[in-house]
Structure 1
Amino acid sequence: MNDKIIALFEEKKINKRQLAKLSGLQYTTVNEILNRKQQINSCSGRTLMKLAAFFDVHIEELLDPFPILENVEGRYNEVDYIWRDAGDNMELVVEVDGETYHRVMERSYIIPENFKYAPIFAKMEIDLLLEELEIRKLAEEFKNGKISSET
């Protein structure tokens, strides 16, 4: 976490006290962010605006994209889902017929620019899961002799 702000800080080749003074922030705030004790995504709007102005970037460029999706819920094809943070990845938790399934999406797919596509990602993953479950069901029926290869 805070990788983007740390990278911007390191590019400036200044120390934490200089960043605090030049951005108008308290040293303790800067220190906690750069030491990863304070997550950038939970900083106040004022802190984010000051940092974005100092580094000459948009606020969203400072943020880690995954917590944005965390706990976003939806329903598709009569299936409920919720997004969960899974460290380096994002996890789509889906419940089908009382069973819970976890679909992991790579970090590169879910970035702020793609946030609006999260429901589409969820729908694609749910469609794939439902197909997999149908194939498993058919394979089990075939294995148990309930259907034949001629069916």
Structure 2
Amino acid sequence: MSWIDAHRTSGRLDGRCLCGAVRIVVDGSHVAAVSVCHCGMCQRSTGYAYGSFVADAEAVTVEGAVATYASTPFSSRSFCPTCGSHLWLRDNEAGEYELFPGLFPAAAEFPLVSEIYTDRRPAYVPLAGDHRTKTQAEYEADNPHVEGDA
């Protein structure tokens, strides 16, 4: 069992954007834990740190209009076109959703399990706790197709 599989669960989570125009239901397999990225692209996208949890594509149902931006050749980011709330990032091949935990009240209980690009983390974003960490060089060595500080 991998470290992330220890947090894989099944069940229902209800979420929505700031204005309520987009509603998201996760009903099935998801990882009840948050991972954070501090690369430049994620910081520009969110204005802070990018934190997400993963849900299988089959478990996610979306109601409402969604706008999508192809942020890299291999992934896209989606948001509410009415209020601008960030909704998810999706790998074009894997298909699973990396959902923003703030959209889901129940996700407030999820632990922080990983943090990447820690050497790019702004001074105003100290994250405490015992979780896995990787610098830009460490992460990109494991994921050569990624250049997250673009």
Q: TM-score range by the shorter chain?
A: under 0.3
Normalised to the residue count of structure 1, the TM-score between the two structures is 0.23
Looking at both structures, which has the greater relative contact order when contacts are Cα pairs under 8 Å and sequence separation is at least 6?
2
Normalised to the residue count of structure 2, the TM-score between the two structures is 0.23
Structure with larger Rg: 1
Larger relative strand fraction:
2
